[in-house]
């Protein structure tokens, strides 16, 4: 792995350069490494504010798009600290894989979320009181200073500290008594690291729907302590709320689809916004053409999230062009993509496996269109995902127990 040297004199660790390139992600990783051991475990829960992100990695936008992979971030941290000292950080990286696996094994949870979300949007159009309360919350005009500040941070910067996300979701659900599905929708539209699994399931966890009956209640004293006194919403929060409940849904884990294999010697390579690092995918064929499928615009077109995505896609094109020596462009529509694929004169297009969510649905359309032109879409699942996702059959703690073994196996590969 070639690592970009991080110049500490130019940028202190407190400042995050959110440039959506692999080079900027690697630079942030290198800068954060000394902090990823015991210091992370001790300090990570404090939200120091947008001017100081020195106690957390802030790598989530790069990880969510797989501009950096979980595997390389984990490996680098383990090289520096070893498992015992870096356990907390490594656990957090595995939370991301746990959520992904959990949802992949239970896509019906996302189906219900989406139909509820759309029904609530229709209700919002008809219910003036709900519409007014939602508008106030989304505009950061609730009068709860911390919440209003986080709305501003979310919509202008596109990122929030983990603890702020937990407090935000809890206040949205239990104090403002707004539907959690529309809170998750608001986050998804603005976060640079927007990820269907981490976002939807974390909102469910806060609401008390993931671990039945266990919800997360934001308390003024906790906010004051972990924002170092920047906020203290004493008397403004509902601190006695009960967890939400929902109609029964069978969530017994299903099976992952079987991993697909590439059969041809010449293939086209298609990347998506879910996975923008082709070099760590094992492609057993010659890549004769490459493209990035332009991601669906969800959220404000010129907001931080969509600007990050578009520039990340361009960065991936430039990397593929240089490394595979093939002309690479972002293909904005299925028609454009099919025209590119047919021009390559190949029988297979390989793409990293995209889990359930907007990219997975886009790929289903691409697959149908390619099939009608006699081209097979081969979704290659990463070894990391094949190994971790099936472990999300129960709570995270079941996976956590297996971490030392998993980490040792992954280090040995």
Ligand X SMILES: Cc1cc2nc3c(=O)[nH]c(=O)nc-3n(C[C@H](O)[C@H](O)[C@H](O)COP(=O)(O)OP(=O)(O)OC[C@H]3O[C@@H](n4cnc5c(N)ncnc54)[C@H](O)[C@@H]3O)c2cc1C
Residues belonging to the binding site for FAD are: 40, 89, 193-195
Burial class (CB in 10 A: 0-12, 13-18, 19+), 161: buried
DSSP state of 175: I
Beta bridge partners of 271: 292
Please say which residue, 6 or 262, places its beta carbon nearer to ligand X: 6
- What minimum distance in Å lies between the beta carbon of 166 and ligand X? 4
Rounded Cα gap, residues 392 and 389, in angstroms:
6
Of 268 and 303, the one with the shorter C-beta distance to ligand X is: 303
* CB of 202 vs ligand X, minimal distance in Å: 3
In the complex, minimum distance from the CB of residue 191 to ligand X, in angstroms, rounded to a whole number: 5
Nearer to ligand X, 73 or 338 (CB): 73
User: What residue has token string 């797989």?
Assistant: 66
CB of 193 to ligand X, least distance (A): 4
Which positions touch ligand X (CB under 6 A)?
44, 56-60, 63-64, 92-93, 95-96, 99, 162, 165-166, 169, 187, 191, 193-195, 198-199, 202-203, 206
Specify the residue, 174 or 340, whose C-beta has the smaller distance to ligand X: 174
Q: How is residue 96 written in tokens?
A: 């991301």
Nearer to ligand X (CB atom), residue 68 or residue 377: 68
Q: How far is the CB of 296 from ligand X (least distance, A)?
A: 15
Token pair belonging to 98: 């746990």
Helices (H), 65-219: 70-104, 107-126, 128-139, 145-157, 162-170, 180-190, 196-207
- Kindly state the tokens that stand for 332: 């904005």
- Closer residue to ligand X, CB minimum distance, 58 or 290: 58
Annotated binding site: 40, 89, 193-195
> Contact 395/314 with Cβ under 8 angstroms?
no
Query: Please, what is the minimum distance in Å from the beta carbon of residue 231 to ligand X?
Result: 17
* CB-based contacts of 71, cutoff 8 Å, min separation 6: 280, 382, 384, 410
Smallest CA-to-CA distance from 376 within 346, 331, 406 is with 346
Token look-up 């390389």 returns 72
CA 188 to chain centre: 9
């Amino acid at each position: 792995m070639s690592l970009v040297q991080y110049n500490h004199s130019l940028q202190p660790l407190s400042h995050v350069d959110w440039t959506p390139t692999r080079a900027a992600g690697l630079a942030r990783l290198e800068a954060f490494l000394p902090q990823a051991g015991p210091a992370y475990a001790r300090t990570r829960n404090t939200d120091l504010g947008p001017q100081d992100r020195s106690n957390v990695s802030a790598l989530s936008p790069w990880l969510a798009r797989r501009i950096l992979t979980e595997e390389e971030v984990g490996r680098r941290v383990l090289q520096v600290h070893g498992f015992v000292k870096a356990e907390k950080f490594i656990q957090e990286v595995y939370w991301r894989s746990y959520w992904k696996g959990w949802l992949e094994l239970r896509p019906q949870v996302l189906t219900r979320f989406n139909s509820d979300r759309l029904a609530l949007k229709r209700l919002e159009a008809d219910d003036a009181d709900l519409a007014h309360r939602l508008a106030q919350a989304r505009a950061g005009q609730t009068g709860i200073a911390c919440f209003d500040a986080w709305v501003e941070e979310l919509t202008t910067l596109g990122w929030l500290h983990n603890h702020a996300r937990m407090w935000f979701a809890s206040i949205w659900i239990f104090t403002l008594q707004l539907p959690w599905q529309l809170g998750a929708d608001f986050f998804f539209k603005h976060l640079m690291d927007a990820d269907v699994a981490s976002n939807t399931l974390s909102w469910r966890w806060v609401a008390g729907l993931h671990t039945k009956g266990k919800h997360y209640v934001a308390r003024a004293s906790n906010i004051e302590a972990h924002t170092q006194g920047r906020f203290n919403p004493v008397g403004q929060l509902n601190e006695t709320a009960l967890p939400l409940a929902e109609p029964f849904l069978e969530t017994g884990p299903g099976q992952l689809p079987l991993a697909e294999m590439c059969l041809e010697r010449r293939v086209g390579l298609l990347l998506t916004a879910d996975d923008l690092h082709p070099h760590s995918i094992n492609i057993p064929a010659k890549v004769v053409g490459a493209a990035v499928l332009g991601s669906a615009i969800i959220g404000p077109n010129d907001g931080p999230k969509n600007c990050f995505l578009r520039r990340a896609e361009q960065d991936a094109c430039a990397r593929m062009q240089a490394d595979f020596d093939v002309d690479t462009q972002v293909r904005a529509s299925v028609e454009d993509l099919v025209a590119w694929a047919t021009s390559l004169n190949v029988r297979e297009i390989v793409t990293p496996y995209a889990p359930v969510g907007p990219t997975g649905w886009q790929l289903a359309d691409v697959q149908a269109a390619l099939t009608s032109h006699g081209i097979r879409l081969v979704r290659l699942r990463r070894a990391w995902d094949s190994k971790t996702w099936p472990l999300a059959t129960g709570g995270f703690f079941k996976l956590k127990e297996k971490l030392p073994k998993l980490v040792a196996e992954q280090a040995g590969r």
